Structure 1
Amino acid sequence: MKKIIVIALMAFARQLCFAQNTNEQIELVPKRLFKDEAYRKCGIDMTPTQLIQVFKEDPKMTQFVKPLALNYAGEAILKAAGGLLIFWPLTEAVYRDNPNWNLAYIGAACYLVAIPFQRGFSKRAKSAIDYYNSGYKQASKVSFNIQVDSKGLGIAMKF
């Protein structure tokens, strides 16, 4: 009787070991008020740096890591420089009479230049997540072209 119970417990424990899913889906949590996009895996929200780290550890995702990291680094550097350049004249205005407002203008320009980097990161992150969730299968791209045919003008969809 002991053998049967031990074998049953071992079989049950073995099934528990296989209950883990190795390829958990990554989902994109949309933006909210005062909150950037978040990425969720296994019910845990990830920052963009953690998302890049997850992709860096996966050998099949190497083609997505470098563009994601470059876009994120460019955005972070420009936003940090912009924030510093905007708040420097503001603090000078509190303590002195004549702050250099040109620095604030340059900081605002840095923030504006960071917007394309942020959008590029979001776009590339979405395509990387789609590739990861589809089991490393590249999605076919759909394009619409305007064509003139013997029947007239029309829109052609190519897969």
Structure 2
Amino acid sequence: MKTKILTLIIVITTTCVVNAQKINTEKVFGGYKYTQNNELISIGDLVSIMENNTKALEILKKGRTNRSLSGVLGFAGGALIGWPIGTSIGGGDANWTLAGIGAGLVVVAIPISSSSNKKINQAVEMYNASLSGTSYNNFKPEFKIIANTSGVGLSMNF
């Protein structure tokens, strides 16, 4: 009886630990939200979590670089759009060429941001797949009922 309880505890613990490490992705306004164990994770935390998975880490770093680039281009474009609008509202003579350049920067930043999100999500999916592939699927215990002079028992081999 003790062996059955111990076996059950081991199987439940292994299942819970594997599911606890999975990173969840949720689409929110303006991007994605990443959580692990119901706690919000930043992109920097994702890098430290994926250190052991080199392929996922490489893709994540490319996505992170693209995300930074799109943020800089988007910020600069927004500033170049906002400056002439503010000047115009203030009653001055606005330079609409700056607004056009800013709009161009924003248009360039949008596909870069989209590519960044795709790469980061691909890295998360690759990381999650590596968890389920190594931790859970390889754990296939074999149960046998054995009997000897001491009595009847349950054997678990893995």
Which TM-score band (shorter chain)? 0.5 to 0.7
| Seq. identity, % | 25
1:69-108 superposed matches below 5 A:
69-108=64-103
Match of 1:60 among 53, 66, 69: 53
* 8 Å Cα contact 1:52-1:68 kept in structure 2: no
Question: Could you state the TM-score of these two structures normalised by the residue count of structure 1?
Answer: 0.62
Question: Does 1 or 2 have the higher relative contact order (CA < 8 Å, sep 6+)?
Answer: 2
Q: What secondary structure sits across from 2:53 in the alignment?
A: helix
Q: Tell me what 2:24 maps to.
A: 27
Long gaps (5+) in structure 1? 1-14, 138-159
Q: What secondary structure sits across from 1:135 in the alignment?
A: helix
Q: Which amino acid aligns with 2:27?
A: P
Higher share in helix: 2
1:129 and 2:132 equivalent? no
Distance 1:26 1:135, change over 3 A: same
Question: Could you state the TM-score of these two structures normalised by the residue count of structure 2?
Answer: 0.62
* 8 Å Cα contact 2:64-2:120 kept in structure 1: no
Root mean square deviation, CA, Å: 2.6
Distance 1:53 1:101, change over 3 A: farther
CA distance in 2, matches of 1:48, 1:115: 19
Long gaps (5+) in structure 2? 1-9, 134-158
Deviations along 1:68-99, whole A, 9 cap, x unmatched?
12211111111111111111111111224311
